[in-house]
Amino acid sequence: MCRLLGLIASGPVDLEFSLERFRRLAREHPDGWGMGWYEGGEARVFKQGISALDPESKLPQLSRSVKSSIILCHVRRASCGRVRGENSHPFRFDNWIFAHNGTVDREQLRRKLRGRYAEGLEGETDSEVYFRWLLQCLEGEGGVEEGIGVAVEEARRSAKGALNFLLSDGEHLYAFRLGESLHRLRRGPGELSCSSPETGALLRGKLLRGERAVLVCSERLTEEGWEEVGEGSLLRIGGDLRVREVRLL
């Protein structure tokens, strides 16, 4: 079971994960880690097929340097595909970034991919194929909510685990829950500090004056007022930080 963390803020924010606490989390999720964000409106992804515990991990440098209004983070516990960088999350396609928690039938969905969505798969994971399938459905249905509804309805017919994901186009953060927990939290201006002995994760970030943020995470990171995302529901959060929750399944 992987761990997802997404953030959308009203302005650029720098996030710093406490390395020591992140290492505790990596003990249970040692099969790669990664971060996706937007820089000048363009998607950026950095990931490694090693544990965050590894001395060669670039986590410390990255956590200090990234500044973005949308950030997606992921730590992996492999269920499909070898432990290597190409199989770590997040994944990028055009200006979309995606991270997944769960297991789907890779071959069944891969056979449904057409055109450019079937080309250039970099890794061996079910999650990368799930991502391509989602984007193909978005294009086919002509709308995000409609496309995701069609995509997850098909994927769940042969799913071997959860279908939870985080997805962004650089303007919105989307989060879908089916099969595993998912929670959201709205934060006001000031210092963002989220820590929990249960997860061993610490997220620190300084929001610029007047900025706000919404976090979405696989679990509650603090004792604050996290709200559970409904099973089968999709969150759509834009730059105004208004949260729209739609029941798809």
Question: Domain extents for the chain?
Answer: 3-247
C-alpha 215/C-alpha 9 separation (Å) is: 9
Yes or no: is domain 3-247 CATH 3.60.20.10? yes
User: Using 50, 70 and 90 to split pLDDT, how confident is the model at 21?
Assistant: very low
Q: What backbone phi and psi angles, to 5 degrees, belong to 128?
A: -65, -40
Q: What is the pTM of this model?
A: 0.89
Whole-number mean pLDDT of the chain?
Answer: 82
Cβ partners under 8 Å of residue 93, min gap 6: 131, 132, 135
The percent of residues in the chain predicted with pLDDT above 70, rounded, is 76
Q: Average pLDDT of 46-61?
A: 72
**CB proximity list for 104: less than 8 A, separation 6 or greater:** 126, 127, 129, 130, 155, 158, 159, 160, 161, 163
The helix (H) or strand (E) run that includes residue 149 is helix 144-155
With a CB cutoff of 8 Å and minimum separation 6, the contacts of 125 are 80, 81, 87, 106
pLDDT at 82: 64
pLDDT value for 64? 75
The arithmetic mean of pLDDT across residues 208-237, rounded, is: 85
Single-letter code of the amino acid located at 206: K
Please give the average per-residue pLDDT across 144-158, as a whole number: 93
Relative to beta strand 243-247, strand 233-237 is antiparallel
Query: Comparing 92 with 15, which gets the higher pLDDT?
Result: 92
Q: Output the six-digit token pair for 244.
A: 């729209």
